[in-house]
Amino acid sequence: MTARVLDGLKIRDQIFAELKGEIARLAALNIKPGLAAVLVGNDPASQLYVKSKIAACELLGLASWLHTPPASISTDELLGLVEKLNSDNNVDGILIQLPLPKQVDTKKVLEAVDPAKDVDGFHPVSLGKLVSGREGLVACTPAGCMEILRRNEIPIEGANAVVLGRSDIVGKPMALLLMHANATVTICHSKTRDLPDVVRRADIVVAAMGRAGYVKADWLKPGSSVIDVGTNKITNAAEAESLLKHFPQRLAKFREKGSVLVGDVHPDAINTAGALTPVPGGVGPMTITMLMSNTVKAARLRRAKHAAKAAL
């Protein structure tokens, strides 16, 4: 059996089309949702991520602002910028691109963001709302994983779901979202015993460990649904040859480029799982998609209510 491929790009396009409708409705209330991105220093990977986020804003017709303080910025200076963005009524979402330089207190900066503008969903207030099942801004990657499951009509209620990884930005919020959707959730981490046995009981597996090809095909219950969050760049030829032994086309690409992106789930899982997100092209595009969705939601929650009242 070959797994159904859960295409993240297709879902991104569906959600973008829906967002365009909502953006038009907000425009009728004179509201143009806006995202302010803060990119500290010159890290090339961060520059690339932020560029894609700004490009998505432009594609959808959202306002965007890019702030690029130098890598030498102090915590207090960065807090000053966050405060300015908090009080700017045109800014609906504030994105602090991580990682921040060593001298900056990252927690303090993230906690200074107005929770109403916390489009990354990292603020303790957003996490608290998620825990208690109240409406709020949910971390983009796990929110995107839920969209993939829902829009592919994968049954969640009553399912045994296993989340591999317990980070604040992926594993923990993912487990909470699955629990709120009535799955029975097991959270695994580096100290979990007998991981293959735990995974074998899962109807839904979400892998977010950052370990290339770690989840083997024979760990999976045949027919299970697998969401592979892992994004691991492989440059070692022996590792690529071993992981992609049964995928000659991908191997040929690796030989040409010298690198390949692989998830946390072994590529051979395509023959065991019932449904599977590809890497790349699965969860990856959903993170920016949900950032756009959160920015529009933040504008709706914070501004549209007041605008509608004022229009009455």
- Stretch 243-302 residues interacting with ligand NAP (CB under 6 A): 283-284, 287
Catalytic (active site) residue 14: no
Q: Name the active-site residue from 92, 97, 117, 221.
A: 97
Catalytic (active site) residue 191: no
Catalytic (active site) residue 7: no
Of 165, 171, 162, 163, the residue nearest 203 (C-alpha)? 162
Count CB-CB contacts under 10 A for residue 89.
Answer: 9
3-class DSSP state for residue 257? helix
Binding test (CB under 6 A) with ligand NAP, winner from 191, 193, 233, 309: 191
Using rule CB under 6 A, residue 14 touches ligand NAP: no
Q: Which is nearer to ligand NAP, 141 or 272 (CB)?
A: 141
Q: From the CB of 228, what's the least distance to ligand NAP, in Å?
A: 9
**Is residue 38 exposed (0-12), middle (13-18) or buried (19+ Cβ within 10 Å)?**
buried
Closest residue to ligand NAP in the complex (CB):
167
Eight-class DSSP state of 13:
H
| H or E element at residue 287 | helix 284-299
Binding test (CB under 6 A) with ligand NAP, winner from 46, 86, 160, 192: 192
Binding test (CB under 6 A) with ligand NAP, winner from 141, 272, 277, 294: 141
Contact pattern from residue 194 through residue 213 relative to ligand NAP, giving x for each residue in contact according to CB under 6 A and a dash for the rest: -x------------xxxx--
Q: Are 237 and 257 in contact (CB under 8 A)?
A: no
Q: From the CB of 140, what's the least distance to ligand NAP, in Å?
A: 8
Q: Name the active-site residue from 92, 118, 120, 203.
A: 120
Count CB-CB contacts under 10 A for residue 97.
Answer: 20
Identify the sign of the CA torsion 117, 118, 124, 127.
positive
DSSP per residue over 228-287, as a string? E---EEE--HHHHHHHTTT-HHHHHHHHHHS-EEE-SB-GGGGGT-SEE--TTTSSHHHH
- Stretch 144-163 residues interacting with ligand NAP (CB under 6 A): none
Using rule CB under 6 A, residue 215 touches ligand NAP: no
Which residues here bind ligand NAP, judged by CB under 6 A? 141, 164-167, 169-171, 188-192, 195, 208-211, 229-232, 283-284, 287
Q: Which residues are catalytically annotated?
A: 53, 97, 120
